Chain A
Amino acid sequence: DAKTTQPPSMDCAEGRAANLPCNHSTISGNEYVYWYRQIHSQGPQYIIHGLKNNETNEMASLIITEDRKSSTLILPHATLRDTAVYYCIVRGLYNFNKFYFGSGTKLNVKP
């Protein structure tokens, strides 16, 4: 599975959009991009995933570049409850049960 690179931490003002980048330059054609987040003292929680098209759900939007080498998770209106570590994971279609989490990005949402 392709590895990912994320900034270790980011700050965001409450109510503003949080844009979390992820680099996955070695991604292959059948690998999906997943995002999970982990709030302090809890287990990771699924947010969204995509292959090549942009995706949106009730939690976030996922923007994948055309060459698929990077992506951005967008939380449109960050709240204090969105303070967490966000993991970008690339997972192969045929190795779909194994996730490599990496160290993630600690998002600090500030009032």
Chain B
Amino acid sequence: AQSVAQPEDQVNVAEGNPLTVKCTYSVSGNPYLFWYVQYPNRGLQFLLKYITGDNLVKGSYGFEAEFNKSQTSFHLKKPSALVSDSALYFCAAPPGNFNKFYFGSGTKLNVKP
């Protein structure tokens, strides 16, 4: 089955430290991979996506993600976390040539001051 997985329900990091939120995928063909962020009582905001090309994708708010085909991963990273980055992060992928998204289960990021 085609899907994305987020192995960590929660990630805790201190402000100023680097952060990583993990995502692995299982989709056929060339994957399109997305990261979204959801703040409390808000909709999902697009952060970045991988279509093709450079394996390091830069997105909004200083986030970046690294596509790794051999490990079928698309981890979200930021060099220096902010308290305001605390939110729920979702990895997503459309299967095949469809545009519907399969979402991971979400990872809650807690950044402590």
Q: Do A and B bind each other?
A: no
Q: Which residues of A are interface residues toward B (Cβ below 8 A)?
A: none
Q: Which residues of B are interface residues toward A (Cβ below 8 A)?
A: none
